[in-house]
Amino acid sequence: MAQISTADFKNGMSIDLDGTLYQIVEFQHVKPGKGGAFVRSTLRDIRNGGTQERTFRAGEKMERAIIDKREMQLLYREGNDYVFMDNQSYDQLNVSAATLGDAVNYLVDNSTVMLMMYRDEIVGVEMAASVELTIAETEPGEKGDRVSGAKKPATLETGLVIQVPLFISPGERVKVDTRSGEFLSRA
């Protein structure tokens, strides 16, 4: 693996410290009047999302983590696993629902995602900002249900329950924000 020093830090860079993967959120090189220089940094744990402040001596060496982003297409679901196909090599990969996290709420067959991989481990999933999904179950929309701001629960084809306007009916396609899980518009 590639060794880097604190002089090589850049925002967004990934590093491996004691077996934990971190992404550098921000860093600041500090040269006090007395004593040696140091680098104050904010690190985000890639696996669980937690952040921490950490201080390094200037010139300290550590392991750079190369995160490989692969474009994958969901082929089908097999029990609790999702079977993806690499769009470049056509290799198939079984991924557990726990590894995918909240992304499973927006995945339907043939959807494309970016799987972030460190060595052979999946450490994250990047999706489009919004996806189009079909309403599987909700109370039917009725004429006159045009009250501004009124909402009702609706179950999507993936099983996720979101709040939609009263006029949305079962079977309609809607746009959903993958970051917040909110209804955006009709598709």
**Phi/psi of residue 87, nearest 5 degrees:** -70, -15
- pLDDT for 65-75, tens place per residue? 888 999 999 99
58 and 38 housed in the same domain: yes
Torsion of CA 170, 173, 175, 178, to 10 degrees: 80
Specify whether the CB–CB gap between 157 and 131 falls below 8 A.
no
147 and 175 housed in the same domain: yes
Looking at 64, 85, 108, the residue that finishes a domain is 64
Q: Report the predicted TM-score, pTM, of the whole model to 2 decimal places.
A: 0.74
How many structural domains are present in the chain? Answer: 3
- pLDDT for 81-125, tens place per residue? 999 999 999 999 999 888 888 888 999 889 999 998 888 888 888
60 and 7 housed in the same domain: yes
- pLDDT for 29-58, tens place per residue? 989 888 889 999 999 988 888 899 999 998
- Token pair listed for 54: 């950490």
60 and 72 housed in the same domain: no
Domain residue limits at 27: 3-64
74 and 121 housed in the same domain: yes
- Which CATH number belongs to the domain containing residue 13 in this structure? 2.30.30.30
**Phi/psi of residue 100, nearest 5 degrees:** -80, -25
